[in-house]
Structure 1
Amino acid sequence: MNSKTRSIILSQLSKQDLNVIDATIPKTDYIAIDLSKANLDLETFDISSSKAWEHYVTNYLNSQNKQVAFGGYLEQRNLYNRSTYFSSQSETEQRNIHLGLDLWCPAETPVLACFEGTIHSFKNNTNFGDYGPAIILEHNINNHSFYTLYGHLSLASLEGLKVGNTVAQGETIAYLGEASVNGDYAPHLHFQIIIDIQNNTGDYPGVCSLNTLEFYKSNTINPELVLGLQS
C-alpha cells in the first residue's frame, strides 16, 4: 500500500505549483543549504546555540541574496547530539537522520496548507529539540489517505484549531515560531509528508536512526519532489 500511495501522490501532485510558506516568495528566491555532518562550516560555530544557528542561516541567505534556505530530507546531522531526546549509546540507534524538509526563514512567516484536507491533530511538543507547536493535516487522493506535518510553529498558531475542520490548499494555517517556543531552533518550518500516521496525534518522528531508516523511507515522501525543489 505504501508504494502505491507514494506513486499516486507523486503522479498527482508533483506537477502542481505548491507552496508551504508565504506564496509571495518565488521559488527563485529559495536556495539549498547543507546542514549535514559533512558540512565543515558547521564546525566554526556553536551548533547547540539557536542564536548561532540563526546568525549562520541569515548570513548564508544574505550572501546568496535569497529569502529561503531549504533542504534536509534524509540528511544525517550532528545538530541533534545536543539533546538527550534524540540520543542513544548505540550509534545505529542514535536518532540523527532528518525525515522532513526544513525551510529556513524568519519567524512569523505564514505557513500554508500544501493540499486540501482536514485538521487531523495538533500539539505543543515541548521536549528540548522537539517540534514545539505542530499541526498535522489529513488528505485524500483517489481514496488514499496521507498526512502532512508542519512543525516549529508559533504558539498562537494552535489557538482556535478544531480537529476535523477543513482547510483549503494554500490556506494560511499557521506562522513560524521563534526559538523560545519552537524547540530552540533558528526559525524554520519542518514539513513532512507521511503515508501512515500510525495512531500518532500532534506528533510524528521527524528524525530517525539507522536502525529504523528503511521503514521511515518507505513511510515518508521527499517533499522536495512534491514542491518542485532541487537541492
Structure 2
Amino acid sequence: MSEINISQIVGQSDLYAALRKLAGQGATLPAVLAALDSGDAAAQETAQRLRAVDQGLLRAVMRRGAGLPAIDAEPAVLAHLAALTPAPMFAPDPARAKTIALLTAGQIPAMPAFSDRAFDAWFAAQGVTYGLGAYGEKRSVYQTAQFADAASPERRTIHTGIDVFAPAMTPVFSPLAGRVKYLTYNADPLDYGHTLILEHDAGGVPFYSLYGHLAGTLLKLLAVGDSVSAGQHIADLGDWHENGGWAAHLHFQIMTDMLDQTGGNFYGVGHESLWDVWSSICIDPNLVMQIPERRFL
C-alpha cells in the first residue's frame, strides 16, 4: 500500500473509527503504530493511546475495516455449536422453567438495580425460578470510567453474555466438554468476583466459555488444567460478598478468541459502535443455552 496518512488518526477522539478507515485503505496495525512512532509528539501520543488498549481488539477492528471477519475462528465455532446438543447449565433447565426477563431500560419500574441489595427481596417476590438478562442489551449501569478505554470516549455498554439470576449457591453445570483455562478472583467492584474460563475444541479450533459471579466453592470443585465433561457440576452462584457486588446470578458468555487477555478476565460488555466486532468475539451464548427468545422480552 502507499504510505500511511497518519493525519487520519493523530489526535482523533475515536481511534477505533480511524483504524477502520485506515484498514479499508490496506493498513495493518503494526504499520500504523510504526508510522505514528516516527511522527511528532501528537503522533506518538496517539500511538501510546493505541498501545494502552487490548491489541487483539484493535486487530479485530481492523479486520472488519478490511472487510474480513473480526475473528477467524467464528465460522468454525458456530458450525461446531450447531452440531452439538449442550447439557443444561441449571436444574431445572431455564429453557423449561418459569422465568422473568430482567430488562434494564425502565421496562420494570419497580425493579431495583442488580447492584442494589433490595433486588434480592424484589426478585424473591416474583415467584419465578430464574431471572434472565439478555445478550446484546444496552445497559446504562456501565457508564463509569471502569468501562472506558484510551482509544475512545465511548463506554462499553452492550452486554456480551446472558445473565441467569437465581439464589446464591445454585449449582452450575458445564454445557460442554472442555478444560479449565483460568480460575480467577476478579476483585474490582462490579467485576466478576470468582470467575471460571473453560477452553473448548471446535475441530482443532479453540474457543472459550466464561462463568462469572461465582461462589468461593469454585476452588474446591476445579483446578487449572482439569478436564471437564458436559453436565459436570463446575460452580455455584456466588453471594454479594464474593461475586463482585451483585445480586446472585451467573454471567455466561462464549468467546471465539481471548484477544490479548491472559489474566483470567474478559470483557462482559462491548462498545455499541463496535457491535459488529464484539458479536464476532463474543457470539450469542444462547447457541448453547437454547432458551426460547421470547423469554428475554
Give the corresponding residue for 2:187: 126
Matched, 1:31 2:99: yes
In structure 2, do the counterparts of structure 1 residues 48 and 113 end up closer, same or farther at CA, with 3 Å as the change threshold? closer
In the TM superposition, 1:170-209 aligns within 5 A as: 170-200=231-261, 201-209=263-271
Distance 1:109 1:147 in 2: 22
Distance 2:157 2:226 in 1: 34
Q: Letter of the aligned partner of 1:115 in structure 2? A: L
Which of 209, 213, 221 aligns to 2:283? It is: 221
Q: Letter of the aligned partner of 1:41 in structure 2? A: I
Give 3-state SS (helix, strand or coil) of 1:96's partner.
strand
Aligned partners of 2:94 and 2:130 also within 8 Å: no
Give 3-state SS (helix, strand or coil) of 1:177's partner.
coil
Give the corresponding residue for 2:172: 111
Structure 2, unaligned stretches of length 5 or more?
1-71
Distance 1:26 1:112 in 2: 12
Matched, 1:41 2:108: yes
In the TM superposition, 1:122-161 aligns within 5 A as: 122-159=183-220, 161=222
> What value does the CA root-mean-square deviation take over the aligned residues?
2.5
In the TM superposition, 1:73-112 aligns within 5 A as: 73-81=135-143, 83-86=144-147, 93-112=154-173
Distance 1:208 1:107 in 2: 27
Give 3-state SS (helix, strand or coil) of 2:118's partner.
helix
Q: Which has the larger radius of gyration?
A: 2
| 1:17 to partner: Cα distance | 5.0
> Where is the strand percentage greater, Structure 1 or Structure 2?
1
Q: Percent of aligned pairs with the same residue?
A: 31
| 1:225 to partner: Cα distance | 2.8
Aligned partners of 1:139 and 1:147 also within 8 Å: yes
| 1:72 to partner: Cα distance | 1.6
Give 3-state SS (helix, strand or coil) of 2:182's partner.
strand
| 1:87 to partner: Cα distance | 5.4
| 1:33 to partner: Cα distance | 0.8
TM (norm. structure 1) is: 0.85
In structure 2, do the counterparts of structure 1 residues 30 and 85 end up closer, same or farther at CA, with 3 Å as the change threshold? farther
Structure 1, unaligned stretches of length 5 or more?
none
Aligned partners of 2:168 and 2:237 also within 8 Å: yes
TM (norm. structure 2) is: 0.67
| 1:50 to partner: Cα distance | 2.7
Aligned partners of 2:73 and 2:205 also within 8 Å: no
Distance 1:48 1:84 in 2: 19
Pairs aligned (count)? 221
Highest relative contact order (Cα 8 Å, sep 6+), 1 or 2?
1
